[in-house]
């Protein structure tokens, strides 16, 4: 006997839908006793054997859009749709393995409905029993637990699916333990994901190449491990051949022990996700390429481990970046900015993008400042900040602007070297951003002309993990800000 779950978002003040003509939605909704106030957004009511069919055992899930839905517009309305659909998907998942097809009334907002459904259905597990076994050694990925389709197909739904699956890819990469997701296997997974995508070139450089380029700060971090470092480039060519590219740079520390400045053992396993910057920019690039957006995009991710081996960086060591600046390593646990320094200089000078955005799980200070709700953004460009803010609001993958101010600079200029890789506890995320700024070429105005490059640094140290579930995300690695980055590029491509 076949069975389908139908999910229908409902405005509790006006419960109506034409999605399934045989259903009297108003009568169905009112069949369940309710209190004096309308059900909160996400409240889901399950009706069995509905709609009734001879050879099927269907269920219908009605999900409340909240009592203020009719008053909402724009981005706020989209988020209510995501919450309603995501909550309903979670309820449907609880019905068990006998149900795997889900039809959604996505008519209110197809994109938001698709995003919520696919994010809510995601579950990472390395358990060896059950229908969704993941076998990383063979490259076998588990089948999707639920198959979704809209009751009325649309391009917006298809786009939402791409956004969500890209975020789920980043979630998986961040969840995989460091013995499985090494720098080498990360690059192999990326190549496999892009294998059938048009207009893409993948380049993987080794340590010898990085040494030849003078990437001493990047290579200094990998000295404590036997795991080979990699320097990954993704080139998507969707724009005119001579058009300036957009560039993403992602921090790719596949495991961060802190090095000689060893981290506390409690929760150190979370540092398998310290390559979250690399995961998010690569996943966003996959979505951008799958959508065939009319832009040229360069993605650069330095990948390595930070371990306390006998050759590891020591506090007080001085290294010289690709741009010649000397850096004192005051704390070996501030390694992300070291690998990003060379990557940012390389990307900004070799490819000369008009916009460069880096994503990194960079500082514990950012988690203290913003928690897991917002990702912090430091930018040299007001217009870039505003575009990121708008994209983040549209996808509810939100950003908060942080100060990028030279008055913090003395904190990282307190050594005999040009720069120190830490500036102490005060404003730790701000001093880290200032450190990175020193390696981005093109952000200074010259000869009375505007800067040739807009740059933004996104610190995702807080938003990398969800410690409490939301209506469409479970706890665990979040894959943020994949959707916001894709939406940012989509909007930029339309200008």
Edge to edge, what strands does the sheet with 317-320 contain?
Answer: 317-320, 326-329, 419-420
The distance of Cα 250 from the centroid of its chain, to the nearest Å, equals: 11
pLDDT of residue 120: 97
The distance of Cα 356 from the centroid of its chain, to the nearest Å, equals: 16
Using an 8 Å Cβ cutoff, are 392 and 398 in contact?
yes
Q: Report CA dihedral (186, 191, 197, 199) to the nearest 10 degrees.
A: 110
Q: Which of 65-69, 133-137, 147-151, 240-244 has the lowest mean pLDDT?
A: 133-137
Q: Tokens 């039809």, residue? A: 103
- Ramachandran sector of residue 358 (left: φ over 0; alpha: ψ -120 to 50; beta: rest): beta
pLDDT of residue 408: 98
pLDDT, averaged across the chain:
94
Which residues, including other chains, have CB under 8 Å from residue 227's CB and lie 6 or more apart? 182, 183, 184, 254, 304, 305
Does the annotation count 91 as an active-site position?
no
pLDDT tens by residue, 190-201: 999 999 999 999
Q: Could you give the domains of the chain?
A: 5-153 (3.40.220), 161-493 (3.40.630.10)
Using an 8 Å Cβ cutoff, are 320 and 270 in contact?
no
- Whether the pLDDT of residue 359 is over 90: the answer is yes
Count of positions (residues) in the chain: 495
Q: Write out the H or E segment, with its range, that includes residue 357.
A: strand 355-360
Using an 8 Å Cβ cutoff, are 376 and 458 in contact?
yes
Token reading at 317? 């060591």
Catalytic one of 77, 93, 191, 263:
263
Token reading at 320? 């010289």
Asked if the peptide bond before residue 156 counts as cis, ω within 30 degrees of 0, the response is no
- Whether the pLDDT of residue 396 is over 90: the answer is yes
Catalytic one of 78, 82, 272, 337:
337
pLDDT of residue 21: 80
Q: Write out the H or E segment, with its range, that includes residue 78.
A: helix 74-93
From residue 187, give the alpha-carbon distance in Å to each of 175, 202, 263, 309.
16, 9, 27, 24
pLDDT tens by residue, 59-71: 999 999 999 999 9
Token reading at 440? 């981005």
pLDDT tens by residue, 418-472: 999 999 999 999 999 999 999 999 999 888 889 999 999 999 999 999 999 999 9
- CA-nearest of 301, 77, 432, 67 to 423 is 432
pLDDT above 90 as % of the chain: 83
Distance between CA 285 and CA 115 in Å, rounded?
17
pLDDT tens by residue, 13-69: 888 777 788 888 888 888 877 777 778 999 999 999 888 877 778 899 999 999 999
Q: For residue 254, report the phi and psi dihedrals to the nearest 5 degrees.
A: -70, -20
Does the annotation count 263 as an active-site position?
yes
Helix (H, G, I), strand (E, B) or coil at 179: coil
Tell me the CB-side half-sphere exposure of residue 470, using CA atoms within 13 A.
Answer: 20
pLDDT of residue 142: 66
């Amino acid at each position: 006997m076949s069975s389908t779950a139908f999910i229908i978002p409902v405005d509790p003040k006006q419960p109506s839908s034409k999605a399934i003509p045989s259903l009297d939605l108003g009568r169905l909704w009112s069949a369940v006793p309710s209190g004096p106030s309308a059900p909160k957004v996400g409240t889901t009511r399950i009706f069995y054997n509905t709609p009734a069919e001879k050879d099927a055992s269907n269920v219908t899930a009605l999900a409340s859009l909240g009592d203020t839905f009719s008053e909402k517009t724009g981005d706020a309305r989209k988020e209510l749709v995501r919450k309603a659909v995501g909550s309903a998907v979670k309820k449907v998942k609880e019905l068990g393995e006998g149900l795997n097809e889900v039809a959604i009334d996505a008519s209110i907002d197809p994109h938001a409905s698709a995003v919520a459904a696919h994010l809510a259905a995601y579950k990472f597990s390395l358990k060896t029993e059950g229908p969704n076994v993941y076998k990383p050694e063979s490259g076998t990925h588990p089948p999707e637990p639920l198959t979704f389709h809209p009751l009325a197909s649309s391009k917006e739904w298809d786009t939402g699916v791409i956004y969500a699956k890209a975020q789920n890819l980043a979630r998986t990469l961040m969840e995989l333990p460091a013995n499985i997701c090494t720098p080498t296997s990360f690059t192999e997974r990326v190549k496999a994901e892009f294998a059938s995508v048009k207009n893409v070139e993948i380049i993987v450089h080794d340590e010898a190449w990085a040494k030849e380029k003078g990437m001493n700060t990047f290579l200094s971090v990998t000295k404590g491990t036997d795991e080979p470092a990699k320097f990954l480039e993704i080139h998507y060519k969707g724009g005119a051949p001579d058009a300036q590219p957009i560039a993403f740079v992602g921090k790719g520390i596949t495991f961060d022990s802190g090095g000689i400045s060893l981290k506390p053992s409690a929760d150190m396993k979370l540092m398998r996700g310290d390559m979250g910057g690399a995961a998010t920019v690569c996943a966003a690039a996959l979505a951008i390429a799958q959508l065939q957006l009319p832009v040229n995009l360069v993605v650069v991710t330095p990948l390595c481990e930070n371990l306390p081996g006998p050759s590891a960086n020591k506090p007080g060591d001085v290294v010289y970046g690709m741009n010649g600046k000397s850096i004192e390593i005051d704390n070996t646990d501030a390694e992300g900015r070291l690998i990003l320094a060379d990557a940012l200089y390389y990307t900004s000078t070799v490819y000369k993008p008009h916009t460069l955005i880096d994503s990194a799980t960079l500082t514990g200070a950012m988690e203290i400042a913003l928690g897991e709700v917002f990702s912090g953004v430091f930018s040299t460009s007001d217009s870039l900040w505003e575009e990121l803010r708008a994209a983040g609001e549209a996808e509810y993958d939100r950003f908060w602007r942080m100060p990028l101010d030279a008055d913090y600079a003395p904190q990282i200029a307190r050594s005999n070297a040009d720069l120190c890789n830490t500036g102490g506890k005060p404003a730790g995320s701000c001093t880290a951003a200032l450190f990175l700024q020193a390696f981005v070429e093109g952000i200074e105005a010259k000869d009375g002309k505007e800067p040739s490059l807009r740059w933004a640094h996104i610190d995702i140290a807080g938003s990398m993990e969800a410690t409490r579930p939301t209506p469409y995300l479970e706890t665990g690695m979040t894959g943020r800000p994949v959707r916001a980055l894709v939406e940012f590029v989509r909007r930029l491509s339309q200008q």
